[in-house]
Amino acid sequence: MADETQKPTPDGGVSTENEVTQPLGLPRWVSAILPIVLLVLVLGVFAFTSPLASIQSQSGEPLPDVTITHTTLPSDETVVLHVTNNGPDSVTIAQVLVDEAYWNFQVEGAGGDQTLAPMESAQIVIPYHWNPGWDLNVALVLSDGATFENTIVAPSQAPGFSLSLLWTLAVIGLFVGVIPVALGMLWFPYIKTMSDRWLHAVLLFAAGVLGFLAFDAGFEAFELAERVPGAYEGNLLVVSGIFGALLLVQAISAWREGRVAAGDSRASSGLWIAYLVAVGIGLHNLAEGLAIGSSFALGRVSLGAFLVIGFMLHNVTEGPAVVAPVARGERPALGHFAALGVIAGAPVILGGWIGSLAYSPTIGAFFLAIGVGAILQVNWEIASMVRDAGGRVASATNLLAFLLGLGIMYVTDLFVAL
């Protein structure tokens, strides 16, 4: 490469005249809308004249893409596959294989035929006398011979909808979510007596707890995203959910700071952060509930006492995280504590219901992602709280406390395996 003499570039110091007059003297709204009108026109021309048709015929058809999102087993003689067509073209499910044998089936919810339009979902109902615990491999054979398969590991019957199931999930949610958080909040009087240094350590411990939950839920979300139908872009959905929640909660927080600057005393209290923490934890617990509920829906429940105990140990650490921000200043009214506990803990119940009644990997992954975003924002908030109180976020004590939070969550997480 020969050296090139660089031309000096203007450094942008040239001031241009600020033109407020529109070209041709048109009103402003016309210049705003004009590109859109032209775009519609171009699209119309493109659609009618198909200038790329010759290329299309040479480069072949787009490949069919069908996802079996999940399966349900409503009775011991029925297998239901939930399928979505992700491809750009319609697909026709011509045959179904069960354990490499052609089997009869019915397609429900695709307009009465076996053809799925792009993005259309349907249920394939297979009358098959399956055996509990014996893996079942199912495959869809499309009209062009392409196959999409799914293995139902250790099948067991789904409980189906009933009030007793809702009640069961409510009781589980109570034990797994509400009670542990409430117990954890009982540390409040003790936290109140702490010096600044130790209070900040507790706050950072809470941040560690939340940080662990963020990773935990994040990995879970990406894992679940793999089962999201391709057209919904599972991984990007999770990323959007994380950023969306993070920025939304942060926007609310920024609005609050604006209120504080304007002299609103209520907005400056730690109660605000406590509520934010409760919301973040609540979203996480919603996802935890989803996991429990969907394990019911998929007939994969192994909720032994041990698991519930594990969840309780895991969630009891969320209590101090909620109340630490209000340890300074006036004690909030008891009603606030109740509200904080309910916001943080009760979503387990709600999540359980959603998970058991309307399970889908898409919803699950999205909820998890929202939880992650909310938690990340809460950690941001905690850090600024410590800083505003004159503490150093990255002091040795605080870092160790954060690490302890991570560590305790890791250890208690070992007891939880759905």
Partner 1 sequence: MPSIDYESAADVTKRLEQRLVGSLTGETSVSRRTVLGSLGVAGSAAVGLGSSRASASPGHGGDDTHGNFGSVGEYQDLDFDPHEFLTAFNTGDSGQDNVPQQVYEEDGRTVREFEFTAVDTTITIAPGVEFQAWAFNGQVPGPTIRAVEGDLIRVKFTNLGRHAHTIHPHLKNLNPRMDGIPQNGPGVLETGESFTYEWIAQPAGTHFYHCHSLPLKEHIHRGLYGTIIVDPDPERVRENPRDYVNYPGPITDDMRTRFVEEAKSRNHEYAENDAVNEMVMVMNSFDTNFDGGNEVYAANTRAFAYGVGSTDGTGNWTAGETKRPIQIDKNERQRVYLSNATEFDLINSFHTHSQFFDYYDHGTTLTPTRKTVDTIMQTQAQRGIIELDYSDHEPGLYMFHAHQSEFAELGWMSFFEVV
Shortest distance, position 102 Cβ to partner 1, whole Å:
10
Shortest distance, position 123 Cβ to partner 1, whole Å:
22
Q: Does 134 bind partner 1 (CB under 8 A)?
A: yes
Query: Does residue 119 sit in helix, strand or coil?
Result: coil
Q: Does 79 bind partner 1 (CB under 8 A)?
A: no
Burial 68-77 (b: 16+ CB within 10 A, else e): bbbbbbeeee
Q: Does 141 bind partner 1 (CB under 8 A)?
A: no
Tell me the C-alpha distance between 52 and 385, whole Å: 58
Stretch that binds partner 1, among 133-141, 220-228, 299-307, 332-340 (CB under 8 A): 133-141
- Nearer to partner 1 by Cβ, of 133 and 263: the residue is 133
The tokens for 228 are 């999201």
Shortest distance, position 126 Cβ to partner 1, whole Å:
12
How many Cβ atoms are within 10 Å of 220's Cβ, its own excluded? Answer: 21
* Residue 280 · residue 377 · CB < 8 Å: yes
Contacts with partner 1 in 81-120 (CB under 8 A)?
A: 98-101, 103
Which residue of 131, 162, 193, 195 would you call a contact of partner 1, by CB under 8 A? Answer: 131
Tell me the C-alpha distance between 213 and 208, whole Å: 9
Which residue of 7, 47, 129, 193 would you call a contact of partner 1, by CB under 8 A? Answer: 129
Q: Does 135 bind partner 1 (CB under 8 A)?
A: yes
Stretch that binds partner 1, among 134-142, 281-289, 300-308, 383-391 (CB under 8 A): 134-142
Shortest distance, position 104 Cβ to partner 1, whole Å:
10
Phi, psi of 93 (to 5 degrees): -85, 105
Q: What single letter denotes the amino acid at residue 67?
A: T
For 53-103, give the DSSP string: HHHHHHH-PPPP-EEEEEEEEEETTEEEEEEEE-SSS-EEEEEEEETTEEE
Count interface residues toward partner 1 (CB under 8 A): 12
- Nearer to partner 1 by Cβ, of 9 and 131: the residue is 131
**If residue 139 lies in a helix (H) or strand (E), which one and from where to where?**
strand 136-142
Shortest distance, position 135 Cβ to partner 1, whole Å:
3
Which residues are near partner 1 by CB under 8 A?
98-101, 103, 129, 131, 133-137
